[in-house]
Structure 1
Amino acid sequence: MYQVTKLHYHRQSKQLDISFDDGMKVTLSAELLRTHSPSAEVQGHSPEQAQLVLNKQNVTLNAIEPVGHYAVRLCFDDGHNSGLFSWQYLRKLCTDHQVLWAQYQEKVQQHHKNKDSVPIKFVP
């Protein structure tokens, strides 16, 4: 199991640098972290219950709170703070962030496409 050795948030760019004990260092956006929060509010209690979190392009981190020696609570400026980002989950986000982001973008596009294709019924 990898350990996080350093977290550094850049307020201007809204990016979080994550460093691990094996030398891996990845930078993730606050938007990706918010839209992929491990909270039940976002993930649900099963894959079918997962929620698509939209319009978080401008979200920022207000605080990073350590939770024991295994996780952090990321507090976002939209009030969301219920997800505990374990070192294991952060590692998954770091190794898979490009695939996860592409899948997220596809879901967002599908959402907008479906939203735009709803027929409008005009009542006289």
Structure 2
Amino acid sequence: MTKHTPIPTEINLRQKSRLLEITFDDGEHFEFTCEYLRVHSPSAEVRGHAPGQEVLQVGKADVNIEQIESVGTYAVRLYFDDGHDTGIYSWDWLHYLGKNQAKLWQEYLDKMAAAGQKRSPTELN
């Protein structure tokens, strides 16, 4: 966290619609699907330990967040209903995901298409 890191002023989980809404103190407001947050988890399980070790997350269209836990004053841990709970989502990471959502989502969809994979668990190859 830097001196200029935006801090959330409000975090709301909308489980029925599978959305996490976050408002930051810089005035930014983002709505994240649970799927988007799950496939962009900052965990080593998803991002790997080094560049090129990323693991494409498939079949996560129906994933939901079961629980949110504060991690100090700088992050939250999200507990997903597929058992994933190792990502620590810092305020910096969440703000980055929000500011770059359209680009990052399209990159994810492109990777899925290139791998011949599907977002829905019922459509997996």
Shift of 1:43: 0.2
Structure 2 residue 102 is matched with structure 1 residue 98: yes
Structure 2 residue 35 is matched with structure 1 residue 35: no
Q: Which has the larger radius of gyration?
A: 1
CA distance in 2, matches of 1:100, 1:73: 21
1:12 is aligned to 16
Structure 1 gap ranges (5+): 114-124
AA paired with 1:65? E
Match of 1:74 among 62, 78, 95: 78
CA RMSD of aligned residues (A): 0.9
| Bigger relative CO (Cα 8 Å, ≥ 6 apart) | 2
CA distance in 2, matches of 1:5, 1:81: 23
1:120 is aligned to none
Length-normalised TM-score, structure 2: 0.88
1:52 is aligned to 56
Q: Which has the higher helix share?
A: 1
Length-normalised TM-score, structure 1: 0.89
Shift of 1:70: 0.2
CA distance in 2, matches of 1:15, 1:21: 20
Task: List 4+ stretches of structure 1 deviating above 3 A.
Answer: none
Match of 2:91 among 82, 87, 90: 87
Shift of 1:92: 0.4
Structure 2 gap ranges (5+): 118-125
AA paired with 1:22? D
* DSSP 3-state at the match of 2:52: helix
AA paired with 1:104? Y
* DSSP 3-state at the match of 1:101: helix
Q: How many residue pairs end up in the alignment?
A: 113
